[in-house]
Amino acid sequence: MEKPHNKTDSTNESAKNLTCWRTATNPQCLRVETVNEVHLFPYGYFQHAKFSRQSGKDVVEIQFQDRIVSVKGKGLEPLCEALERLAVERIRLRPEKYEGLGKSEGIIEKIEFSQKQMKTL
């Protein structure tokens, strides 16, 4: 017997695909997904986050012990607010096939990683 198509399930699945970050209660680490890689950053090493606007783009810099994750896009202030509560479980790029959809959602267009600069005395 064929299962009837549930429009709500397909709508919920589409909404999940449009979401560039996901929150949870007390996640142990931040999962950062790029096109070819998955990075896990334990919240025990979280040090600092900064929200700014540069050249018309929102930027959230997330600093861990020796790495900085730079997230660029639009509508990212709620992402920084969720980081304040250490409630972000996952961030990822918006899949290209959904470009132009979900304009009310925060959109992550670029994720970059860098080494934290060590200060010399």
Tens digits of per-residue pLDDT, 51-98? 999 998 999 999 999 999 999 999 999 999 999 999 999 999 976 644
Give a three-class secondary structure readout of the chain: CCCCCCHHHHHHHHHHHHCCEEECCCCCEEEEECCCCEEEEEHHHCCEEEEEEECCEEEEEEECCCEEEEEEEECCHHHHHHHHCCCEEEEECCCHHHCCCCCCCCEEEEEEEEECCCCCC
- At residue 96, the pLDDT reads 60
User: pLDDT per residue over 39-57, tens digit each?
Assistant: 999 999 999 999 999 998 9
89, part of any domain: yes
**pTM, whole model, 2 decimals?**
0.76
Q: Is residue 9 part of a domain?
A: no
Establish if 17 belongs to a structural domain: no
Q: Is residue 92 part of a domain?
A: yes
**Domain that residue 85 falls in:** 23-115
In a domain, 3, yes or no: no
Does residue 38 belong to any structural domain of this protein?
A: yes
